[in-house]
Amino acid sequence: MPKLTIDGREVEVEAGTTILQAADYLGIEIPRFCYHERLAISGNCRMCLVEVEKAPKPVASCAMPVADGMVVHTDTPMVLKARKGVLEFLLINHPLDCPICDQGGECDLQDEVMAYGADRGRFAENKRAVKDKDYGPLVKPTMTRCIHCTRCIRFITDVAGVPELGGTGRGENLEVGTYVQKVLSSELSGNIIDLCPVGALTSKPYSFAARPWELKKTESIDVFDAVGSNIRVDARANQVMRVVPRTNDDVNEEWLGDKSRFAVDGLMRQRLDRPYVRRNGKLEPATWPEAFSAIAARLKGAAGVKLAAIAGDQADAEAMVALKDLFTRLGSPSLDCRQDGAKLSGPRVSYLFNSTIAGIDAADALMLIGTNPRLEAPVINARIRKRWMAGGFSVGVVGPKTNLTYKHEHLGEGASVLSAIADGSHPFAAKLKAAKRPMLIIGQGALARVDGDILLGLARKIAEATGMHSAEWNGFNVLHTAAARVGGLDLGFLPAGGGRDVEGILAGAEKGEVEVVYLLGADEIDMQRLGKAFVIYQGHHGDAGAHRADVILPGAAYTEKSGTYVSTEGRVQRTQLAVFPPGEAKEDWKILRALSEVLGKALPYDTLAEVRARLADVNPVFAAVDRIEPAAWASFGADGVPAADPLASPIDNYYMTDPISRASKTMAECTATFVGCAHKRTGTNG
């Protein structure tokens, strides 16, 4: 390995490392605009110039591989002069509009100017101005500020896989843009806002809303999909102003899907901020004691078998375990956390993304079954694309024909292909078999079907037949779409002996066999089918469930509580309280604890720590926060012949999948822009 000296410090690094990377490793700061550790190297901003002994002129350290015996200086007068010169050139056309620029306060250019900027400009000619472009409802381009680092181009082209941005024109007329008028059609487009080192690309919904130094930053977890992306919630006063990704190489690297980033304006709309009780067919505001006593009155004397509870897609594990404990005490076996009816209830290995998200990097063949990861988990889709870009990765798809941003073989739409792959008669089976680390991803589009357990069994057979699991590799993956799902399955929020599942609960309610239904943030079921049942809705948004409810208990959204969520790969992570729940809304497990007292079935925990101890009791995985416990292989799924209907993805409209995103104005604009008018129009807009 080459050894080099940087500022008098010797370091030995891998061959192929650049000088800038070696300096980063030593903690020596080199300014940069175009270099980004997750993007291809372009070397066009020239800010990272350093002096290399025996080199005739300053060297762009981001693009120069180290060599043995190299002697590098990053702090000589020559380096300083070179960087000052580069910065002066960059500032020639950069407007001095920091006071009205949203990047102000978190701008790389601003920071570097503090270090290398001159106190006055020598450029007396006219500055260049660029016509504003329209990138859709999420990204606000102010291209006059662009310094042409091309980070956004490289991200959109390489990571997001929708090559729509480019640099057109030349010299002073170079413009970064789409050339023809079009909106950025990527579910990851928001990331170019973070990548932009200046204020050329800023967030449209967040524009002129806050300054970075006014924000209280809380590290948390995203719940809009089941990836468990690490996020930072930036709040001012009691309002979430924005959400940005945090780096976690094992989960989201440093990317975030657009829904997770931009749907947070939904947290300020349609909120349930006080309890409601339905009187004479009309929901009326009530106090907590009134709401609880209405529930107690209805439950009094009701047999346990006539009670049922459904947990929604964004419920935290604490609330689910409290609800489960309460209903067990009430004698109800009818619990379900699978609103979509997914046929998952077997051993842990049967419902996890076992290879882990980081494991995708090591795989060498992939089969997707009934899933469109681009809509269900854009960050995972980017990871798959990253693996595909590295080469030697064949992808087969059974399900709808979609643009996945990487080349794939479409094997068929129906489940019959699966049987052929399982028995080895399909040519793709040979590809999987030949691969060292083959993997498959089965989605809720397959599992939520009536024959979901047969498809799950087929997937297991494929995994077994093609050698997807061994001592060190498990390529059987389930991609969830609901953040709460794995947590619910882990703590057994499932029908107990003789209990009803979601379909059973709905059918029972229709027939009058189920009299009370408790919805814990469950909005994705057909409310019409609840019949005459007494519906208790506990949640944070006035969505489908609240409209149907007889009693509404206002809960907290994910930014308003410390909640435990288990991601699709089985990673236990916790959200943190960034703002307080609005009005009289409370943390969800506390509501259930208080209700249990009123019902005379007091739950045995009074603090969050005690609830979490209970969680760990129910399933030890909850004690291992941010660790992945590999699940042991087992037999699961059912035998049988699957139905012939084509497999579909459960998500048509990426931008609206849950109560928060349905309440979001930004997501409504995205739906109108990207999905068209396929969504349900309601009230004033329809």
Binding residues for other proteins (CB under 8 A): 131, 133, 157, 163-170, 173-175, 177-181
d(CA 678, CA 675): 6
Work out how close the CB of 253 gets to other proteins at its nearest, in angstroms, rounded to a whole number: 23
d(CA 111, CA 87): 11
d(CA 155, CA 496): 48
Q: Report the candidate in 205, 95, 198, 197 with the shortest Cα–Cα distance to residue 139.
A: 205
Work out how close the CB of 407 gets to other proteins at its nearest, in angstroms, rounded to a whole number: 11
Residue with Cβ nearer other proteins (181 or 684): 181
Work out how close the CB of 204 gets to other proteins at its nearest, in angstroms, rounded to a whole number: 20
Work out how close the CB of 603 gets to other proteins at its nearest, in angstroms, rounded to a whole number: 57
Two structure tokens written together for 370 = 């009934």
Q: What percent of the chain is helix, strand and coil (3-state, nearest 5)?
A: 35, 15, 50
Residue with Cβ nearer other proteins (93 or 178): 178
DSSP code of residue 666: H
Residue corresponding to tokens 């200086």 = 73
d(CA 526, CA 137): 31
Give 125's contacts (C-beta < 8 A, 6+ positions apart): none
CA angle 352, 356, 361 (to 5 degrees): 145
Alpha carbon 147 to chain centroid, angstroms: 30
Work out how close the CB of 170 gets to other proteins at its nearest, in angstroms, rounded to a whole number: 5
Residue with Cβ nearer other proteins (64 or 201): 201
Give 511's contacts (C-beta < 8 A, 6+ positions apart): 531
Work out how close the CB of 561 gets to other proteins at its nearest, in angstroms, rounded to a whole number: 44
Work out how close the CB of 395 gets to other proteins at its nearest, in angstroms, rounded to a whole number: 18
Residue with Cβ nearer other proteins (146 or 572): 146
Two structure tokens written together for 54 = 């025996």
Give 270's contacts (C-beta < 8 A, 6+ positions apart): 541, 542, 543, 659, 663
d(CA 107, CA 589): 41
Residue with Cβ nearer other proteins (164 or 194): 164
Work out how close the CB of 178 gets to other proteins at its nearest, in angstroms, rounded to a whole number: 7
Work out how close the CB of 153 gets to other proteins at its nearest, in angstroms, rounded to a whole number: 9
Residue with Cβ nearer other proteins (407 or 547): 407
Residue with Cβ nearer other proteins (149 or 307): 149
- Strand 551-554 vs strand 564-566: parallel, antiparallel, or unpaired? unpaired
Helix (H) or strand (E) holding 284: strand 282-285
Residue with Cβ nearer other proteins (172 or 472): 172
Residue with Cβ nearer other proteins (133 or 426): 133
CA angle 254, 255, 260 (to 5 degrees): 125
SS3 94: coil
